[in-house]
Amino acid sequence: MASRHSNPLLHLNDQDGSYPPSWYAATATGIPKTQSLQGDHRCDVAVIGGGFTGLSAALHLAERGYSVRLLDAHRIGWGASGRNGGQVGTGQRVAQDELEQKVDSSLARDAWQIAEEAKGLVTDLIARHQIPCDYRRGSIHANHRRRYDDHSRRFVDLLNERYDYDEIRYVPPDEMQALVGCKGYSAGTLDMGAGHLHPLNYALGIARAAMTAGAVLFENSEVTHIDTGDPVRLYTAQGSLTARYVLYACNGYIGSLEKSIGRRVMPINNYIIATEPLNDETVRGLIANGACVSDSRFVVNYFRCSADNRMLFGGGESYGYRFPRDIKTFVQRYMLKIYPNLKDTKVEYGWGGTLAITMSRLPYFQRHSANIFSASGYSGSGVALATGAGAMLAEAIDGVASRFDVMNRLPTPSFPGGSALRSPLLALAMTWFAIRDRL
Ligand SMILES: Cc1cc2nc3c(=O)[nH]c(=O)nc-3n(C[C@H](O)[C@H](O)[C@H](O)COP(=O)(O)OP(=O)(O)OC[C@H]3O[C@@H](n4cnc5c(N)ncnc54)[C@H](O)[C@@H]3O)c2cc1C
């Protein structure tokens, strides 16, 4: 008999089966037609989760000839993948110099290479499948304290010289002020190898490509119970799926479906607003070169202008499970600290999403048994890394696990106190980091 596992975040903040009230959902194109799982089905690989991880895995597995069934509890791209800042970053979430301190140099180099391949896969998929997602090059990292400027210079030198990565350069304070039209930042970096996109349209594009390759996607099909073994049997309210392999691609929404993931990967909510459309001159005054921006705060502000000239601003985290009642006002406070000149600009959309972090900020790739795999915990850098993870999961199932094994070797310690205590402890730690941001 199927028992219901507990997963509050899948249902707490959103309407079942509907996209959140985001600017992305309002401008989504090419939503594929799907059904929910009814009756009993069989396949080679069952993928749980229709975000970048699951969709990319489904596409790459179908291209390799596997029969694939993907199940999402709500809609394709309903989770973090359809709600995020759209920033396509370079490297792992942990900066490469910090990574070199954490792991041996050959592992650090392999992880860098994998992240570069993941970023390349994003632009490759967009080009190959003609995904209309407004991809634009350029990413600025802006220091909110002058004391970080030396580090930016050294970081650029490291990437230019040791990693032959010459897309990134140091941006001195006066140029930064001109690029990001506000006074709150000192120096930083500009990375033309990184960029930004419309994440929901990107997810929907991968979904269409996966379907064309033969994968079958089911929406409104929450997996409530799993019988592990060989084969594995998955149950939803109205059907079941028997599969040789299973991939968990649930990231922050995994709940207690696989408890061992919850010890190392923790959900965390984050919020974005979209203003009304602005005129071209105002947009150029906000971010002169059309890049996306993230800053050096631990509780990071990240922002960019959309293809239709809106300021999309993300900031503010909360450590309970519930979204704030008034997300627009909650995030607007952060935006006005950076751009007080937007005080009379109307905020038209505000939404939240759940991402997943690990203690080390490095993703958690795991082989739970011979036929069950997972990848999650991208810690806010999943546009590229989750897309890459899907390809690596597909390779691992197909018997080529070298890249998956590199990611599996990255350290991702358990949260102290396991899944019960991790939230209160995180709230304490984040309060400290938020205070430190202001010093
Ligand atoms: C507000 C916000 C801003 C962000 N900004 C950025 C950014 O600018 N750049 C960046 O690189 N990353 C960013 N991220 C992180 C990025 O969005 C994630 O790392 C990435 O989308 C993870 O993809 P995923 O496929 O692993 O998970 P998700 O996209 O969350 O997908 C998981 C899916 O699993 C489904 N699911 C869960 N449990 C079940 C079940 N039992 N049965 C069936 N389906 C289930 C859910 O419905 C969901 O659709 C941000 C995240 C948020 C929330």
Per-residue model confidence as pLDDT tens digits over 269-307: 999 999 999 999 999 999 999 999 999 998 899 999 999
Q: Is 48 in the pocket of ligand 1 (CB under 6 A)?
A: yes
What angle is formed at CA 42 by the lines to CA 265 and CA 364, rounded to 5 degrees?
15
Cα separations (Å) of 107 from 61, 102, 434?
26, 10, 31
User: Cβ(340)–Cβ(286) under 8 Å?
Assistant: no
Q: Is 390 in the pocket of ligand 1 (CB under 6 A)?
A: no
CA 380 to ligand 1 center in whole angstroms: 9
Q: Is 51 in the pocket of ligand 1 (CB under 6 A)?
A: yes
Residue 174 is predicted with a pLDDT of 96
Residue 183 is predicted with a pLDDT of 87
> pTM above the 0.85 mark?
yes
- Percent of the chain, pLDDT > 70? 93
Please report which confidence band the pLDDT of residue 438 belongs to, taking 50, 70 and 90 as the band edges: low
Question: What would the mean pLDDT of 264-268 be, rounded to a whole number?
Answer: 91
- Chain position carrying tokens 């984050």: 270
**Is residue 316's pLDDT more than 80?**
no
Query: Could you tell me where the beta strands, DSSP code E, fall in 238-333?
Result: 239-248, 266-275, 292-295, 302-305, 311-318
Please report which confidence band the pLDDT of residue 321 belongs to, taking 50, 70 and 90 as the band edges: confident
Query: Could you tell me where the beta strands, DSSP code E, fall in 249-289?
Result: 266-275
Lowest mean pLDDT among 75-89, 351-365, 399-413, 416-430: 416-430
Q: Is 376 in the pocket of ligand 1 (CB under 6 A)?
A: yes
What angle is formed at CA 373 by the lines to CA 370 and CA 374, rounded to 5 degrees?
160
CA 354 to ligand 1 center in whole angstroms: 7
**Token duo for residue 4:** 């219901």
Q: Which residues contact 1 (CB under 8 A, 6 or more apart)?
A: none
Nearest by Cα to 76 from 260, 242, 206: 206
- Chain position carrying tokens 């979904």: 207
CA distance 293 to 296: 10
**Is residue 423's pLDDT more than 90?**
no
Nearest-atom number in ligand 1 for the CA of 54 is 25
CA 51 to ligand 1 center in whole angstroms: 6
The H or E element containing residue 405 is helix 402-409
Please report which confidence band the pLDDT of residue 238 belongs to, taking 50, 70 and 90 as the band edges: very high
CA 251 to ligand 1 center in whole angstroms: 6
The three-state secondary structure class of 59 is helix
Nearest-atom number in ligand 1 for the CA of 53 is 25
Residue 2 is predicted with a pLDDT of 39
- Chain position carrying tokens 């082989």: 367
Nearest-atom number in ligand 1 for the CA of 86 is 8
Q: Whose CA is nearest to atom 47 of ligand 1?
A: 73
CA 255 to ligand 1 center in whole angstroms: 13
Nearest-atom number in ligand 1 for the CA of 252 is 30
Q: Is 206 in the pocket of ligand 1 (CB under 6 A)?
A: no
Question: What would the mean pLDDT of 52-76 be, rounded to a whole number?
Answer: 98
